Amino acid sequence: MKKLFTLVLMVALFIVSCGGKGQKLRVGATPIPHGDLLNLVKDDLKKEGIDLEVVPYTDYILPNKALADKSIDANFFQHVPYMEDFGKKNHIDMVAVGNIHLEPMALYSKKIKNIKDLKSGDTLIIPNDPTNGGRALILLDKAGIIKLKDNKNLSATPADIVQNPKNLKIVTMSNEQIAPRLDEVAGAIINSNFAIDAKVTKNEIILIEGKDSPYVNVVTVLKENQNDERVKKLVKALQSEKVKKYIEEKYDGRVIPAF
């Protein structure tokens, strides 16, 4: 009888222990603002029985590869055009399960205060991935700095420039390399998260996307996991008034709630 009681007690303690830990959810994210926002809702998810682990990344490639090999359950760093382009090229069936925020792309400069001050032959840096590179060129086209063959082509490259009145040199680099090179050029188009992380200030913006930009950052999962209840709870937490208020107060217009 004593042995039976001991066995029952051990089983009960095991169940309580497992219940206390909650369901694990591993989410890959770039640090700012994505990692910040995930850490903000950790305690809220714990109350929902979810043990959130934020897996940090500093580039735009590894988070999707990690999703594909299932070393993470979801990621939070990208917009839909990038997700679709990456998925198509790498044969990864991904879906967006929640709109969270917009990071307006901007042209930053430490040397000039107005785009009209760009001189003939100046160098501008833009992202080298297809969707963000096209996005940067569309921003320049809409400002009248260059003219593209098709200013609605999200995958435009410098080869699609048909008019370049100031003979600007358009250099492409990976997103994480751009901000550290800002001192060397007339200007650089940088995603807000990388600009904020590199301490590039709002005062250095000379051109910025409008709030109607379609590049909303989303929570992404493999299509087979789109109904995962853990992820649904994550999206609900990220779309809360608490997160909205935090974004508005913390990022001063360089990150905008999209829910």
Mark whether 126 and 163 lie in a shared domain.
yes
Cβ atoms 114, 103 nearer than 8 A? no
Domain annotation covers residue 49: yes
Q: Note whether 122 and 241 are within 8 A (CB).
A: no
With a CB cutoff of 8 Å and minimum separation 6, the contacts of 210 are 104
pLDDT tier at 212 (50, 70, 90 boundaries)? Answer: confident
> Which percentage of the chain shows pLDDT scores above 70?
92
pTM of the model: 0.79
**What average pLDDT does the segment 46-64 reach?**
97
Say if residue 115 is in the same domain as residue 158: yes
Residues 96 and 28 in one domain: yes
pLDDT of 211: 74
pLDDT tops 70 at residue 190: yes
Residue 118: band (very low, low, confident or very high) from pLDDT cuts 50, 70, 90 = very high
**Does residue 137 register a pLDDT over 50?**
yes
Q: Which domain holds residue 175?
A: 106-208
What does the alpha-carbon distance between residue 78 and residue 249 come to, in Å, rounded to a whole number? 22
- Pair 144, 105: CB distance under 8 Å: no
137 and 195 within one domain: yes
- CB of 103 within 8 A of CB of 196? no
Residue 12 lies in a domain: no
Q: What would the pLDDT profile of 102-113 be if each residue is shown by its tens digit?
A: 999 999 999 999
Biggest CA pair distance of the chain: 91
The Cα–Cα gap between 111 and 66 comes to: 39
